[in-house]
Amino acid sequence: VKRNGKNGFQYYSSQLDEHVMEKVELEADLRKAIIQNELLIHYQPQINLRTMQIIGVEALLRWKHSKKGIISPEIFIPIAEETGLIDEIGAWVLREACFQMKQWQQQYYWNIPVSVNLSTQQFHQKHLVKDVENILNETRLSPKFLELEITESMMMDVARSSQILSELSGLGIRLSMDDFGTGYSSLSYLKLFPIHKIKIDRSFINDITTNDEDRAIVATIITMANNLKMSVIAEGVETKEQIQWLMENGCDDIQGYYFSKPIPASEIERLFIVPLIS
Ligand code: C2E
Ligand code: CA
Ligand code: CA
Ligand code: CA
């Protein structure tokens, strides 16, 4: 960056403008994306390390922009949250994922849960529990085949979070704590909240075979989950060595590129669902 007075400032300022413009543009496009069917869901399998069977799939949102190609949820979910579009998008993902799972059940007798990510805003919507209930009724998916992924950072208001989680759990759905270890919440939350599953964040799994600290942290999380009778899944597993270590250390399940990236529903059917009659 040039630092010669006026020019330096101008350079910075035009960059900033560009950034703002880009966001305004994306926001307008995102409004249209819903109507124009540009949103889609990819599914990533979760594998049990004992049986090596698929025990669930996570629904991950994609935006196929007409000019810019695939845009990452890390970029457009924050925009959707700021603009309130998350209401509509969140409900769409939930309905679509439940509908897909119901179809797989009817077509292939494939009885595994689908996990759907909740955003912070969605979690705090007054109508969340009602929405989830309505969508389950509408799609006729049994609640035990829906899992919602929440994060520690949503749980700031303990009393309120506790209330929402009990209501959700009361519907008969499962709850998992996503990105575990990256937030600031106290471990006692785990005892307080009706959480069924802990997802160890990818940042701890990355260097598990080389970094002693990461290994110690992951081993501790696994032991804690086992003791609390929660299931535990490692995210972002990419190598055989990581799988080996996780197996030896009592991790239940894994999710990651080693087995499969998130892929379209049709690919899940082609690669992972064995037809009963062929
Ligand atoms: P997340 O919930 O932690 O999802 C896991 C992310 O890790 C996904 O990125 C997935 O593609 C990626 N991943 C999985 N296995 C591996 C691996 O082995 N290596 C590496 N490097 N990455 C792996 P993705 O799909 O880009 O999603 C990013 C984030 O966007 C998600 O993180 C989640 O926070 C958010 N997101 C995605 N879909 C939704 C949605 O429908 N609603 C909401 N509210 N957020 C969503
Ligand atoms: Ca997730
Ligand atoms: Ca995660
Ligand atoms: Ca994440």
pLDDT of residue 51: 96
The residue whose CB lies within 8 Å of the most ligand 1 atoms, and thus the one to mutate among 39, 58, 117, is 117
Surrounding ion ligand 3 within 5 Å at CB are 178-179, 235
pLDDT of residue 1: 44
Pick the ligand that lies closest to the CA of residue 150. Answer: 2
Question: How far, in Å, from the CA of 96 to the mean position of ligand 2?
Answer: 16
Q: Give every CB contact of residue 242 below 8 A, 6+ residues apart in sequence.
A: 205, 208, 209, 234, 256, 258
The alpha carbon of 88 and the centre of ligand 1 are apart by a number of angstroms equal to 19
What is the structure's pLDDT at 24? 85
Rounded to the nearest angstrom, the distance between the alpha carbon of 199 and the centre of ligand 3 is 7
* Closest C-alpha to ligand 1, atom 32: 74
Angle, CA 99 vertex, CA 143 and CA 118 arms, to 5°: 65
Query: Distance between CA 116 and CA 61 in Å, rounded?
Result: 9
Query: Which parts of the chain fold into alpha helices (H)?
Result: 6-35, 73-83, 86-108, 120-124, 128-139, 158-170, 188-192, 202-205, 212-227, 240-248, 265-272
Q: For residue 233, give the H/E element and its range.
A: strand 231-234
Whole-number pLDDT of residue 10: 52
Residue 43: strand pairing partners: 59, 263
pTM: 0.93
**SS3 call for 71:** strand
pLDDT confidence of residue 250: 97
Reading the chain (278 residues) residue by residue, the pLDDT tens digits are 444 544 545 555 667 677 777 888 889 999 999 889 999 999 999 999 999 999 999 999 999 999 999 999 999 999 999 999 999 999 999 999 999 999 999 999 999 999 999 999 999 999 999 999 999 999 999 999 999 999 998 988 889 999 999 999 999 999 999 999 888 767 878 888 999 999 999 999 999 999 999 999 999 999 999 999 999 999 999 999 999 999 999 999 999 999 999 999 999 999 998 765 55
ipTM value, please give it.
0.98
In this structure, what is the dihedral angle of CA atoms 95, 100, 104, 110, given to the nearest 10 degrees? Answer: -60
What's the pLDDT at 151? 94
